[in-house]
Amino acid sequence: MDKLLSGRRILIVEDEMLLLMTIEDVLADLGCESVVSASTVDRAVSLVDGQVFDAAVLDMTLNGTSSRAVADALAARGVPFVIATGNRDNTWDGFRDRAVIRKPFKYDELVEIIMRLLPGRSSDG
């Protein structure tokens, strides 16, 4: 009954609606019941400031603008995240060592990356 992601809170920041919903469903299949999503920088930043997340998936570009402000907010709160992008460019200065996943990506690969990002299960919540 204990699925890979049960009890985890994951934030998805993505502006392609169908992709966003699919990621939600992929994570839900793995037992993640609290997937929270945002498709704009403002909404994502206010979610990061107001809630606790175990990990996040962050699209580098939202509605044509950089989502760097969200990366800063996540980093400030110590939330690990993977950067998703359709570009081949580098990610932002200061975030070059972060996990990156290039669109389109295998959902299994996304899950593997998220699993690696998560703090150990033994750590008491």
Q: Going by C-beta distance under 8 Å and a sequence separation of 6 or more, which residues neighbour residue 60? A: 66, 67, 83, 84, 85, 87, 91, 92
C-alpha 59/C-alpha 12 separation (Å) is 8
Residue partners of 53: CB distance under 8 A and separation at least 6: 9, 10, 11, 36, 74, 79
Which one among 6, 49, 90, 102 touches other proteins, defined by CB under 8 A?
A: 102
By rule CB under 8 A, what string of x and - marks binding of each residue 60-99 to other proteins? -x-xx---------------------xxxx----------
The number of residues that bind other proteins (CB under 8 A) is 25
Smallest separation, CB 88 to other proteins (Å): 8
Q: Which is nearer to other proteins, 37 or 67 (CB)?
A: 37
Site for other proteins in 8-47 (CB under 8 A): 15-22, 25, 37, 39-40, 43
Rounded Cα–Cα distance for residues 9 and 16 (Å): 21
Where along the sequence are the contacts to other proteins (CB under 8 A)? 15-22, 25, 37, 39-40, 43, 61, 63-64, 86-89, 102-105, 107
